[in-house]
């Protein structure tokens, strides 16, 4: 039984009409063409063909299948089909074809030649499989992958790696361009006070404003967080034109943002580098624009900052300073200088001293505090340095008092970073305790910019003041100058910034302004001191305007210890 061949019964065999019906009903399209007739026309299609293409058999019969092709059909695939027909071979391609209604579909077409018993070509059979769904899904996911790989998911702008790639292509073509690196000032503050969702909406709106203003020819990128980069292609634009354009962009970005019923205002800083003037490579130009951006933040005047090569020297100098600072403290290179404060009478008398720091560097000579204090603030070195200054100042003043010099208050400058440090009060207490100096002789000079966090600041100031220490506001008029804090914070002395004194009394406007600041201070019951007094006429004007104290080159320049002691002696 097992060895016997299986012979089907006649009833179990398929008939020709059943076969044709099965072919008709199969889910895929089938076409038969006759290569012996002119233009290889269609001589049979099944129902599957009509389902896929929308053409009825009579509409395609005796026609060539090329009516399914359209403008996007890949000619390379058509060549493969042609070649297979010539060589009488089977082949499979996936073509973008068009239905009768004009919509497209992806046709996975397999053509096979059919030969008779003698090996002569009779027909070509084509099988059509509609792959539209599969191919489009694949395309969508690769588009999504591309989107993630090249674009920022939040704003849809280019991401950094794609931006750099595109920038490199433009540079290779020799395209002159400007790179604008744009950053939102204090964005962290926006995120913290309004929440990240509002922060994101602000970034999105900023990106939209850039897109609207810049047009298609520019590349725009969000490199990270609140950092945007724009590449402007230049033809023969001058720096003036680029600057004006950059200012207009800043202005558009600065307009208030209305998000979830909140009106948010934000400032933007901008750094600019140019190709080919500043550098040849994308990395260099991006770095240079970044350095310029940093500088624009430091400037704080809200104007775009242009990269210049001297910035690199400044950075080099800065790195040197940063490296040398810790050692300098250990080896006694820092020194206290003293600037006397006087009464605002015709012949001022010594009423106080401000301690000013100096750095005697063995290689560079005297380095100005303006050059190293901001660095020390940034890298945290101001904490040990500031502690040394307070201790040293208290020690020396007490020593002078013990030696019989007149007992006058001494003021010490306190930087924001130092003041915010949780141990600041302990440091001050410690310095007073070790030296034995009565707190009523210690004055701390803080700046207005420190006062933007009134709750914490107020408590700290009150605790210091309760010990008998006096508080001065330094550089008054250059920071927030909010009348509110004058009213609410425990302050004793207002030090009017020297920029208000410089043009007085020559400039009528400055003189009036100065007088109103003096009156403002007096109305809050504060002692008012004018800084940077350099002439007799300034002194007279200030005395006449009710200013209590003066400080400046006219009375005395900052003095070293020896000269200060000389001056103190005359008051003994």
> How many Å apart are CA 535 and CA 539, to the nearest integer?
6
370 is an interface residue for ligand C2E by CB under 6 A: yes
Considering the rule CB under 6 A, would residue 356 count as an interface residue with ligand C2E? yes
Pairing outcome for strands 442-447 and 177-184: unpaired
x/- mask, Ca ion, residues 520-539, rule CB under 5 A, reads: -----------x--------
C-beta separation of 265 from 254 below 8 A:
yes
What's the token pair of residue 140?
């969508």
- Tell whether residue 449 is a contact of ligand C2E (CB under 6 A): no
Nearer to ligand C2E by Cβ, of 285 and 373: the residue is 373
Q: Which of ligand C2E, Ca ion, none does residue 409 bind (CB under 5 to 8 Å by kind)?
A: none
DSSP states along 398-415: HHHHHTT-----EEEE--
Stretch of residues binding Ca ion (CB under 5 A), selected from 70-78, 345-353, 412-420, 540-548: 412-420
Q: Which is nearer to Ca ion, 201 or 413 (CB)?
A: 413
Site string for ligand C2E, 455-484 (x = CB under 6 A): -------------------xx---------
- Which CB sits closer to ligand C2E, 389 or 568? 389
Residues 144, 153: Cα–Cα separation, whole Å: 10
CA distance 51 to 466: 92
Binding flag, residue 553, ligand C2E (CB under 6 A): yes
Query: Residues with Cβ < 8 Å from 116, sequence gap 6 or more?
Result: 122
Report phi then psi at 191, rounded to 5: -60, -40
Q: Are 165 and 172 in contact (CB under 8 A)?
A: no
- The least CB distance from residue 314 to ligand C2E, in Å, is 18
Query: Is residue 86 within the footprint of ligand C2E (CB under 6 A)?
Result: no
Which of these segments, 36-44, 100-108, 367-375, 423-431, binds ligand C2E (CB under 6 A)? 367-375
Bond from prior residue into 505 cis (ω within 30 degrees of 0): yes
What are the helix (H) ranges across 26-159?
47-53, 57-60, 75-87, 132-150
Q: Which stretch binds ligand C2E (CB under 6 A): 87-95, 352-360, 397-405, 452-460?
A: 352-360
Instruction: Tell me the backbone φ, ψ of residue 133, rounded to 5 degrees.
Output: -60, -50
Note whether 45 binds ligand C2E by CB under 6 A.
no
The answer to whether residue 269 forms part of the interface with ligand C2E (CB under 6 A) is no
- Concatenate the DSSP letters of all residues of 248-291 into one string: HHHHHHHS-EEETTEEE---EEEEEEEETTT-SSHHHHHHHHHH
CB 406 within 8 A of CB 571: yes
Closest CB to ligand C2E: residue number = 552
Decide if 110 contacts 91 (C-beta within 8 A): yes
Q: Which residue's CB is nearer to Ca ion, number 167 or number 529?
A: 529
- The torsion angles phi and psi of 555, rounded to 5 degrees, stand at -85, -50
Residues 452-491 that bind Ca ion (CB under 5 A): 474-475
Q: Please report whether residue 413 would count as binding Ca ion according to CB under 5 A.
A: yes
Q: Which is nearer to ligand C2E, 391 or 463 (CB)?
A: 391
Least distance in Å: CB of 480 to Ca ion?
15
User: Side by side, which strands form the sheet with 91-98?
Assistant: 42-45, 29-33, 121-130, 104-115, 91-98
Is 504 one of the binding residues for ligand C2E (CB under 6 A)? no
x/- letters, 401..430, toward ligand C2E (CB under 6 A): ------------xxx---------------
If one asks whether residue 368 binds ligand C2E (CB under 6 A), the answer comes out as yes
| Residue 356 binds which of ligand C2E, Ca ion, none (CB < 5-8 A, kind-dependent) | ligand C2E
Residue 498 engages ligand C2E in binding (rule: CB under 6 A)? yes
Residue of the chain from 170, 333, 438, 534 that contacts ligand C2E (CB under 6 A): 534
How far separated are the first and last CA of the chain, in Å rounded? Answer: 137
Contact string (CB under 6 A) for ligand C2E, positions 321-350, x = contact: ------------------x-----------
Integer Cα distance of 451 and 489 in angstroms: 9
Decide: 209 and 257 in contact? Cβ < 8 Å: no
Q: How far apart are CA 224 and CA 214, in angstroms?
A: 20
Residue 448 in the binding site for Ca ion (CB under 5 A) = no
Question: Which partner, ligand C2E, Ca ion, none, binds residue 370 by CB below 5 to 8 Å per kind?
Answer: ligand C2E
d(CA 317, CA 311): 10
Identify the residue among 130, 445, 448, 548 touching Ca ion (CB under 5 A).
445
For 72, counting Cβ atoms within 10 Å of its Cβ (0-12 exposed, 13-18 middle, 19+ buried), the class is: exposed
User: Judged by CB, which is closer to ligand C2E: 249, or 357?
Assistant: 357
Taking CB within 5 to 8 Å according to partner kind, which of ligand C2E, Ca ion, none is near residue 558? ligand C2E
Using CB distances below 5 to 8 A depending on partner kind, what does residue 532 bind out of Ca ion, ligand C2E, none?
ligand C2E
Sole window of 218-226, 278-286, 507-515, 550-558 interacting with ligand C2E (rule: CB under 6 A): 550-558
- Cα–Cα distance for residue pair 305/298, rounded to 1 Å: 10
**Distance between CA 157 and CA 204 in Å, rounded?**
10
Instruction: Find which of ligand C2E, Ca ion, none residue 521 binds, CB within 5 to 8 Å per kind.
Output: none
Residue found by looking up tokens 């939209």 in the block: 208
Q: Are 33 and 67 in contact (CB under 8 A)?
A: no
CB of 476 to ligand C2E, least distance (A): 10
Positions that interact with ligand C2E (CB under 6 A): 339, 355-357, 368-370, 373, 389, 413-415, 474-475, 498, 532-534, 552-553, 558
Positions that interact with Ca ion (CB under 5 A): 413, 445, 474-475, 531
């Amino acid at each position: 039984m097992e060895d016997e061949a299986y012979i089907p019964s006649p009833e179990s065999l398929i008939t020709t009409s059943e076969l044709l019906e099965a072919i008709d009903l199969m889910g895929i399209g089938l076409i038969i063409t006759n290569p012996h007739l002119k233009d290889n026309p269609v001589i049979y299609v099944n129902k599957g063909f009509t389902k896929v293409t929308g053409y009825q058999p009579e509409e395609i019969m005796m026609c060539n299948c090329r009516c399914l092709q359209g403008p996007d059909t890949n000619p390379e695939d058509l060549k493969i089909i042609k070649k297979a027909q010539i060589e009488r071979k089977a082949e499979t391609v996936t073509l973008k074809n068009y239905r009768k209604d004009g919509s497209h579909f992806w046709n996975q077409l397999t053509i096979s030649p059919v030969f008779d018993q003698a090996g002569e070509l009779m027909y070509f059979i084509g099988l059509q499989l509609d792959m539209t769904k599969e191919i489009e899904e694949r395309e969508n996911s690769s588009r999504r992958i591309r989107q993630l790989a090249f674009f920022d998911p939040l704003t849809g702008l280019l991401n950094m790696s794609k931006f750099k790639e595109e920038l490199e292509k433009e540079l290779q073509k020799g395209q002159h361009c400007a790179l604008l690196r744009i950053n939102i000032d204090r964005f962290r503050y926006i995120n913290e006070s309004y929440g990240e969702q509002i922060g994101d909406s602000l970034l999105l709106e900023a990106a939209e404003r850039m897109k609207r203003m810049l047009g298609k020819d520019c590349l725009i990128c969000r490199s990270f967080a609140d950092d945007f980069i724009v590449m402007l292609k230049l033809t023969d634009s001058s720096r003036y034109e680029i600057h004006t354009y950059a200012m207009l962009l800043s202005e558009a970005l600065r307009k208030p943002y209305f998000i979830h019923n909140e009106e948010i205002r934000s400032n933007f800083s901008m750094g600019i580098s140019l190709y080919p003037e500043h550098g040849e490579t994308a990395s260099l130009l991006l770095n240079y624009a970044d350095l310029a951006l940093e500088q624009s933040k430091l400037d704080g005047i809200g104007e775009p900052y242009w990269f210049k090569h001297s910035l690199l020297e400044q950075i080099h100098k800065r790195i040197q300073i940063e490296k040398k600072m810790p050692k300098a403290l250990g080896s006694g290179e820092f020194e206290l200088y003293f600037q006397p404060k006087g009464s605002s009478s015709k012949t001022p008398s010594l009423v106080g001293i401000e301690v000013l720091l100096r750095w005697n560097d063995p290689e560079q000579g005297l380095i100005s505090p303006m050059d190293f204090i901001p660095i020390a603030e940034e890298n945290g070195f101001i904490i040990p340095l500031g502690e040394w200054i307070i201790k040293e100042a208290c020690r020396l003043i007490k020593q002078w008092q013990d030696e019989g010099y007149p007992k006058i208050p001494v003021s010490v400058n306190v930087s924001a970073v130092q003041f915010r440090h949780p141990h600041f009060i302990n440091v001050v207490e410690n310095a007073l305790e070790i030296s034995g100096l009565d707190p009523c002789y210690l004055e701390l000079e803080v700046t207005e910019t420190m006062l933007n966090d009134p709750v914490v600041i107020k408590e700290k100031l009150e605790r210091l003041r309760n010990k008998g220490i006096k508080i001065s506001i330094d550089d008054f008029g250059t920071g927030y100058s909010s009348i509110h804090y004058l009213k609410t914070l425990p302050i004793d002395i207002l030090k009017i910034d020297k920029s208000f004194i410089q043009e007085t009394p020559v400039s009528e406007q400055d003189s009036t302004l100065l007088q109103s600041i003096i009156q403002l201070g007096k109305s809050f019951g504060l002692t008012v001191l004018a800084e940077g007094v350099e002439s007799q006429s300034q002194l007279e004007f200030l005395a006449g305007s009710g200013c209590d104290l003066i400080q400046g080159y006219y009375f005395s320049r900052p003095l070293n210890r020896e000269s200060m002691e000389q001056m103190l002696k005359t008051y003994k």
